[in-house]
Amino acid sequence: GGVQDVSTATADVRIFPGLPLLNFLGLLLLAIQRGTPDAYRTLVNKYAANIAELGAWNDALEMVAEMYFGIVKPRQSNPLMDMMGSLFGGGAAGGGGGAQQRRAPTRRVEA
């Protein structure tokens, strides 16, 4: 019995005192519906200790942050890969791909 029903004008949520991650998921769905990055950040910070216990959630939460809130985690820099990419035309900013796409139609026109 310690289940609490929390209602507002726009949402109904059940809070389970003994199941913090279940509460987190319910509140995460509300944050997604609202689409506010601040609500997402606050929620993740509040439940950080519970989430940390489940290391497997990190990748999924990063995807949710990017897909629904536009929060992009900075890419980890790998100096060797960046150097190799620039040597072989890949470039860290992905400039090589765009150039290839622009050249492709001209090849078709010439053929």
Render pLDDT for 60-78 as a digit per residue (tens, 0 to 9).
Answer: 999 999 999 999 988 777 7
How do 4-7 and 12-15 pair as beta strands? Answer: antiparallel
Residue 100, in any domain of the structure: yes
Domain that holds residue 86: 79-110
Tally the domains of the chain: 2
pLDDT band at 94 (very low <50, low <70, confident <90, very high): very low
Alpha carbon distance 12, 14 (integer Å): 7
Render pLDDT for 45-54 as a digit per residue (tens, 0 to 9).
Answer: 999 999 999 8
Rounded to 5 degrees, φ, ψ at 32 are -65, -45
Same domain, 64 and 91: no
Alpha carbon distance 27, 12 (integer Å): 10
pTM: 0.61
